[in-house]
Amino acid sequence: MANTQETTRILRRLLAEGMNSRAERLLSRMRPPDRGPVLSGLTPPEIRTVMDLLFEKRRAASTLKELPPELLPQIFEALGDERLGQILARLELDDRVEVADQLDPERRDRVIDLLPENRRSELLQAELYPPQSAGRVMTTRLVSLHEEMTAQQAIERLRETGDTLETILYVYVVDDKESLRGVVPIRRLVFAPPERLCSEIMIHNPVSVRADADQEQAAALVSRYNLLAIPVVNEEDRLLGVITVDDVIEVIEEEATEDMYLLAGLSEEDRIFSPASRSIRKRLPWLLANLGLALVAASVVWAFQSTLEELVALAFFMPVVAGMGGNTGIQSLTVTMRAITLGEIAFSSGLRAISKEVTVSVANGFVLGVISGTIAYFLEDSAVLGVALFLAMVITMGVAGIMGASVPLLLKAAKLDPAVASGVIVTTTTDIVGFTTFFGAGTYLLRVWS
């Protein structure tokens, strides 16, 4: 397959010359995720034609669900409400919810009204669950078997479903009240004797997730127990749907992107091809907040200007203290954030984690303090500078370790997203502590040794 630019050029030429059948064949040879970059280079009328071609071959829905979020507004603009509703109706519930969330409220209501009754009710029911919950990423198309079914009856039930399901990785066993009782892997069902009951071959007490639980919890359970899918239940253990591994991968990617963006002070709406005006609008407020905090740290330096006038070399090593403190804090923060995300640490075990990070940070600070203090001493022939730098490195990196490990744990305990403000709090605190310690030690030592 040619590169994206060449493919887009060929596709536009075929559309311009009215060779729609050849354009459709070109698109059919592409995987759904590969069509997005090609569509981004088309005009609205061309996008409309392409989506009509894909719709006729039942490929429009699979293409739409694979498109990056920043491209969806361009696709929505090119499609009419009726066509968009038809495509939306062909999507699995989780994809339907995701695409519907991208529409502006007024148009969203119009498009949803055009959906078939069963598709509309499914969507409206899913939207009752909290944002980013398991109920919003589950699919309701699954196979459930009664516990009194035999293996042969279960296989016949699977045959009846045909290829109407997105994927069948497990079949779930329920009782008369549709409550989840167990799960049967396909392999175990195929090799079971025909007369064997599902209740006898199922895995009892399967791992499941509540529909109102955070989607991160579902992803963590799939990862921890090496599952290919996880059933979603309500508070009464009634089986509602299933989250498959491909959706879990999307959740992990989404959550990782969210944490990465929040740590950097970015909005998830700010993507590589987002309009410059949107990126400026999203980034500037955070940068202004950072400017304010940076001025607080700078005020510490201003408070010690008399010491700087007496020992100018302090200014030369000031970035060293700030840089090492900031890096140490980010290291501890990253390790702690990963542990929180994967469920490896709780607030109750946080003290041990903080103690370990402080030990590592102070030890590293001692080694680096000796090295940098010795270099400073020989460069300026000043014991004051060398000792001040040593003390500042040890104390600042120790505090950085404390803050990097404790801040996300405290935010998590307060039911706040640890990624939102952890980075700013840690780096600003270490800067203030570093400058205060460095200049404070320098001021004290100058007075004592002068």
Q: In 3D, which of 137, 114, 117 has the Cα closest to residue 127?
A: 137
Question: Do residue 149 and residue 114 come from a single domain?
Answer: no
Do residue 119 and residue 162 come from a single domain?
A: no
> Which burial class, exposed, middle or buried, applies to 199 when counting CB atoms under 10 A from its CB (0-12, 13-18, 19+)?
middle
Domain end residue (candidates: 102, 129, 156): 129
* Integer Cα distance of 421 and 230 in angstroms: 32
Domain count, the chain: 3
- Residue 97: pLDDT over 80: yes
Asked whether residue 424 is domain-assigned, the answer is: yes
Considering the domain architecture, whether residues 11 and 90 belong to the same structural domain is answered as yes
Question: What whole-number distance in Å separates Cα of residue 227 and Cα of residue 224?
Answer: 8
**Average pLDDT for 409-413:** 83
Tell me the per-residue pLDDT of 244-260, one tens digit each, with 9 for 90 and over. 888 888 787 777 776 66
Stretch 97-110: mean pLDDT, rounded?
88
Of 146, 139, 243, 239, give the one whose Cα is nearest residue 156: 146
Is residue 65, in this structure, part of any structural domain at all? yes
One domain for residues 9 and 87? yes
Q: Are strands 180-185 and 170-174 parallel, antiparallel or unpaired?
A: antiparallel
The rounded Cα 11 to chain-centroid distance in angstroms is 34
In which region does residue 178 sit, left (phi positive, over 0), alpha (psi from -120 to 50) or beta (all else)? left
Which one, of 433, 154, 39, lies nearest residue 23 by Cα? 39
| % pLDDT > 90, the chain | 26
Task: Point out the domain boundary residue: 96, 129, 162.
Answer: 129
User: How far is 403 from 422, CA to CA, in rounded Å?
Assistant: 9
Q: Is the pTM of this model over 0.75?
A: no
**Higher confidence at residue 251 or residue 443?**
443
Same domain? 377 vs 248: no
What end-to-end distance do the CA atoms of the chain give, in Å?
A: 75
Give the number of C-alpha atoms closer than 13 A to the C-alpha of residue 269, restricted to the C-beta side.
Answer: 11
For residue 214, report the phi and psi dihedrals to the nearest 5 degrees: -65, 140
434: domain CATH number?
Answer: 1.10.357.20
Residues 199, 117, single domain; the answer is no
Plot region of 142 (φ>0 → left; ψ -120 to 50 → alpha; else → beta): beta
Cα 117 to Cα 98, 122, 123, 138, 152, distances in angstroms: 19, 9, 10, 19, 34
Verify that 91 and 50 share a domain, yes or no. Answer: yes
Q: Tell me which amino acid residue 160 is.
A: E
- Identify whether residues 282 and 351 lie together within a single domain: yes
Phi/psi for 95 (5° steps) reads -70, -35
CB atoms within 10 A of CB 265: 17
List the Cα angle 262/103/258 in 5-degree steps.
Answer: 15
| pLDDT per residue as tens digits for the range 341-385 | 766 776 667 888 889 999 999 999 999 999 999 998 888 888 888
257 and 284 together in one domain: no
| 313 plus 414 within the same structural domain | yes
pLDDT greater than 50 at residue 328: yes
pLDDT exceeds cutoff 60 at 1 = no
Does residue 219 form part of some domain?
yes
Instruction: Please tell me the predicted confidence (pLDDT) of residue 347.
Output: 65
Contact 87, 52 (CB under 8 A): no
Give the domain CATH number at 31.
1.25.60.10
User: CA 294, CA 120: separation in Å to the nearest integer?
Assistant: 50
Task: Identify the domain containing residue 299 by its residue range.
Answer: 276-449
Pair 286, 263: CB distance under 8 Å: no
Q: Supply the CATH number for residue 228's domain.
A: 3.10.580.10
Between 163 and 147, name the one with better pLDDT: 147
Domain stop point among 263, 294, 318:
263
Enclosing H/E stretch for 145: strand 144-146
